Amino acid sequence: MKPTNSLRWGLATVLCGAALALRAASAPAPSSPPPAAVPPTTVPAATTQLGAELAAVAAHIPGAHAGDLRTTPIPGIYEYRQGAELVYVTADGRYGFAGDLYRLADRNNLSDARRRELRLELLRAVPESSMVVFAPAQTKYTITVFTDVDCAYCRALHKQIADYNRLGVKVRYLFFPRTGPNTESWSKAEQVWCSADRQAALTQAKLGVALKTAVCKPNPVADDYALGRAIGLTGTPGIVTESGELLPGYAPPDELVQELQRDKLQDKPPG
């Protein structure tokens, strides 16, 4: 949400005769020293130059903004982000290509690290109060799972939710009805969210039990769906780890924990 600039300032001074008389009769208070001058904030020239450079590239790409772009280690090639998806473009904005950018000295996949960073950035904007969370008594790992009520593998995962929790895995659910808006799966997701007990409702829905809850507005299903598309989700369940890695598909509890242990050893993206 963009901040507004419609701030209004008002100042009213009320003087009464009694206050004036009292001030005249009292000893003058020592005057306070004037506030120290605050030097104006200056923007480094390099920052201004970079902003102008990115704006010039963005101007050649339909719908792009300077904030969608950043430089890469390759002169004349810029990263253009759309959600967590990356495209590399030339300075004149005429050409672009998709693929992974590697630093050959250490075989570091810079694109993969950047995508993980962007996924986490997008997920940080969603509070847990907008998720359906199944948490263990002691959390060792946290995963964010995009789920479809009618997805067979999503149901297989949820049937073992107690086992994931027993192994210390906190499961934070977001909705991703694969069939899209105005479909039965979409309505079921909305009904789960609108239920008094969302955990119980999700469990029942994944067992195939028809919910009687009326759909309420607003609900986060549309936002969750858009977020899933932004991070590059192609199927469900889509599991995002604490490092921002996207794990496609279902994994049994023990196998998932092994993957999460390896994930802990990864270099975390900045931020």
Nearest residue to 230 (alpha-carbon basis) of 243, 246, 251: 246
Confidence of residue 96 (pLDDT cuts 50, 70, 90): very high
Integer Cα distance of 153 and 146 in angstroms: 12
Whether the full predicted model's pTM is greater than 0.75, yes or no, is yes
Q: Average pLDDT, whole number, for the chain? A: 85
The one-letter amino acid code at 107 reads R
Structural domains of the chain in order of their starting residue, each with its CATH number: 46-109 (3.10.450), 125-265 (3.40.30.10)
Tens-place pLDDT, residues 155-181: 999 999 999 999 999 999 999 999 999
* Residue 140, pLDDT above cutoff 70: yes
- Residues catalogued as catalytic: 148, 151, 154, 178
